Copies of this chain bind each other. A is one copy, B any other.
């Protein structure tokens, strides 16, 4: 047998890697291991005491509250046992993704058998008392969850919400060319949309520069209460489906009609060897192609359809009802195990069927033949360092973002396009641990400058005229028209110790609301687990946002992802609304360096004015919010009459324009303009680590003056964030109130009363004494809005009266009153 070192692209076939035949001895050890794993799984679900059944089972040995999932567990342990045999023989660098994550006891048991559980949690010792504690803690208050979870060594995938096993697996495989990701997909999970499309991930994986995902469709036939669809279609349809997904399916059916376990072991072991040899051949071919300078080709990757009974080896019947091979095995087959003598006997018979006396010695330690069935320590899947991504995380090499900044000279820039320059050079500096993910929109979202140094990775077919379309067999940009897929890939990539970002339309990022939830929960829990090391943050760039979907219309307008995000724990989520190009650069510099957060960055892609110089942007972003003195009309040392708050690029332009109008028309009004880039600064410091103290908040927003706040999203979020502030009742927020249609950018603002003219009206209405004195000005604003609307309805365009505002000191091209015309969005590269 070869030495067990992990080497890049070491993909030996079985013949090359070992001279051992698949002996009965080997398979006996696999079976021992499997029996032990199953025993330990059932024990976790049921036993409070008497863990090794050294005395007859009594009711008080059984947990009062039985929780957990048995159904999928024996299949998971069977696959794990066999994979361990192959890993040892081939020195494979592997990890195990458990799609049916509710099979938690099986994975915990596997870790325990590998010794890694005891290494990670020293109180769970390798003896009877350790097993006692292992059983007791499972699904028990103060113990561990019933699912595969962050607490489970070797896991990168919480299976509580189904659908992402393959996306996570491929995310782990990208840029890990010697890695085998063994991904078990439950046949329930397989019915979800995200999983159904994630099979197509194989069109994006490069056989030479990326790792291998080996999907196993665990066809055990039943969900909670129903059969599964894929278990009830003819085998030719299932084979066709897998072929259609780009796979060569290998079918294994075992465990039915009391098949002898030895027979099932031999058949599966032989099949696994065939499959792994096929993978070795694919890898060898790809290496040869690379050596010969030939382009890589997409192979038909093998996959396994693993059809075994749900609840295999469990009770065949309970109370006369079929249980093994039925949905009744899904969770706890003997739900009332201590209620009757018969149930208790059922449970004891079941546990004893694994012959625990053969598995553990007198002290409760595993017998040597079982531990011999483990791979060498360095190859254990449960201790693969990439499954604790922070261990292998390398900080990004970052150029100085200030080198990419723009002058504040009245010119209009597309902020993400400039960010693209910064990202381009980050890609160059970090060629193998940074990727950009997005659903077909990286160019549309204006990051196209990254294509100067990289391409979109694409392993489906090419046509001659694809040239110039930035597609290649290797590339740092991953695009498929599935937000679920992109998010899942990115999560898998981050969880295995790399960096990345996702760009998407703001409205449609809601598609992954629930995936965000699960990732945020994962981060929250790992923050509480000392051995879990911090991973890179999950960064969003939402640059096709609500205010510039005027051409796409109502269906594309929704700024509520921010609202969704801020429901999660304050130490996990960050929301940034950089108002211009330099602040976007500074923000992204920050978020790409951060760890253990979800950073939501919303920054429009349309040409827009710059407000802050590079140095100002740095200071402003460091503070998270600040007074823009040059925009307001404050008198030093005096309290302002009104505060104009703003957050978001478009609202900021309106607020500074409103301030300019006020300066022109009500010169003696003391206006303070406050821009907020880090939204969490608005919250109480007791609620969020970024929160301002009440004193700071009052200093900036005043405790008693009217605040008219122009906000990017739904206005009530600002109220929610500030409801404890002293001056809260003086706060008047404008934002998106779900009024939209196909129209022009400025008309969109007017529909939602967020335009500069309406903000001026709001100030007049709110500052005591102005309403009467400036009734004429107010009417002028009303008329101006009507005129603009009439112009828009007549021409289809925004009125030339609507100008971009630029700083008075910004150069000669612009004045406060005029400024450059607002560019019209042609929508030319939007969906």
Contact = CB atoms under 8 A, between A and B. Distances in A.
Interface in A576-594: none
Tallying the copies of this chain within the complex gives: 2
19 contacts: A66-B826, A67-B551, A139-B742, A141-B747, A143-B742, A145-B555, A146-B742, A147-B553, A161-B511, A162-B481, A189-B481, A193-B485, A195-B197, A197-B197, A224-B440, A224-B831, A241-B245, A243-B244, A244-B245
A480 B229 contact: yes
A602 to B, nearest CB: 16
A55 interface: no
Contact of A238 (B244, B825, B826): B244
Contact of A196 (B193, B826, B831): B193
Contacts of A830: 224, 331
Nearest to A468: B321
A723 to B, nearest CB: 5
A118 interface: no
Interface in A231-274: 232-234, 236-246
A326 B464 CA distance: 12
A330 B508 CA distance: 19
Given A160-B552, A233-B460, A331-B828, 4 more contacts: A143-B742, A161-B511, A331-B830, A510-B564
How would you classify the secondary structure of chain A's contact residues: helix, strand, loop or mixed?
loop
Interface stretch (A610-618, A651-659, A776-784, A792-800): A792-800
A638 interface: no
Given A65-B824, A203-B229, A525 B513 contact: no
Contact of A567 (B158, B238, B560): B560
Nearest to A481: B191
Closest 4 CB pairs of A and B: A241-B244, A160-B555, A193-B193, A196-B197
A59 interface: no
A322 to B, nearest CB: 6
A720 interface: yes
Interface string A731-745: 000000010011110
A673 B825 CA distance: 55
A665 interface: no
B203 A232 contact: yes
Chain A interface size, under 10 / 10 to 19 / 20 to 34 / 35 or more: 35 or more
Given A160-B553, A796-B64, A141 B232 contact: no
Given A188-B440, A514-B513, A524-B738, A792 B141 contact: yes
Interface string A459-496: 01111011001010000000111101100000000000
A147 B141 CA distance: 52
A224 B828 CA distance: 10
B233 A829 contact: no
A292 interface: no
A83 interface: no
A566 B479 CA distance: 32
Nearest to A200: B229
A595 interface: no
Contacts of A246: 233, 237
Contacts of A175: none
A330 B828 CA distance: 9
A530 interface: no
**Most B-side CB within 10 Å, residue of A203, A243, A827:** A827
Interface in A103-146: 139-146
A178 interface: no
A443 interface: yes
